[in-house]
A = this chain, B = another copy of it.
Amino acid sequence: MLPILHLNGWKIANPTVLARMDDQELTNLFTGYGWKPYFVEGDVPEEMHQLMAGTLDTIVKEIRSIQDTARQNNVRKAGDASLPAWPMIVLRSPKGWTGPKVVDGKPIEGTWRAHQVPVADLQSKPEHLKILEDWMRSYRPEELFDKNGKLIPELAELAPKGERRMGANPHANGGLLLRDLVMPDFRDYAVSVPKPGTENAEATRVLGVFLRDVMKLNADSKNFRVFGPDETASNRLDALFEVTDKLWMEPMLPVDEHLSQHGRVLEMLSEHMCQGWLEGYLLTGRHGFFSCYEAFIHIIDSMFNQHAKWLKVTREIEWRRPIASLNYLLTSHVWRQDHNGFTHQDPGFIDHVINKKADIVRVYLPPDANCLLSVGDHCLRSRHYVNVIVAGKQPALQFLDMESAIEHCSTGIGIWEWASTDKGAEPDVVMACAGDVPTLETLAAVDLLRQHFPDIRIRVVNVVDLMTIQPSSEHPHGLPDVDFDSMFTVDKPIIFAYHGYPWLIHRLTYRRHNHDNLHVRGYKEEGTTTTPFDMAVLNDLDRYHLAGDAVDRVPRLQKVGGHFKQFLRNKLVEHKQYIYERGDDLPEIRDWTWPY
Contact = CB atoms under 8 A, between A and B. Distances in A.
Interface of A: 11-17, 20-22, 25-34, 81, 107, 110-111, 116, 230-234, 246, 248, 250-251, 253, 255-256, 259, 267-269, 295-296, 298-299, 301-302, 305-306, 309, 312-313, 339, 342-343, 346, 348, 351-352, 355-357, 501, 503-504, 506-507, 510, 515, 525
Contact of A355 (B342, B343, B351): B351
Contacts of A256: 15
A506 B515 CA distance: 12
B301 A11 contact: no
Contact of A111 (B22, B33, B255): B255
Copies in the complex: 2
Contacts of A14: 230, 246, 248, 259, 267
Nearest to A349: B301
A364 to B, nearest CB: 20
A259 B13 CA distance: 11
17 contacts: A12-B230, A12-B231, A12-B233, A14-B230, A15-B256, A17-B250, A20-B250, A25-B34, A28-B31, A29-B29, A29-B31, A29-B33, A32-B32, A295-B305, A305-B348, A309-B343, A357-B525
Given A13-B233, A21-B250, 10 more contacts: A14-B246, A14-B259, A15-B250, A26-B32, A29-B31, A110-B255, A301-B301, A301-B302, A503-B510, A504-B507
A355 B501 CA distance: 7
Given A355-B525, A506-B510, A510-B510, A230 B25 contact: no
Contact of A296 (B29, B302, B501): B302
Contacts of A111: 255
Contacts of A298: 301-302, 305, 352
Contacts of A27: 32
A219 to B, nearest CB: 22
A332 to B, nearest CB: 11
Contacts of A268: 17
A234 B11 CA distance: 11
Given A33-B29, A255-B107, A269 B15 contact: no
Nearest to A34: B25
Nearest to A117: B339
A15 B525 contact: no
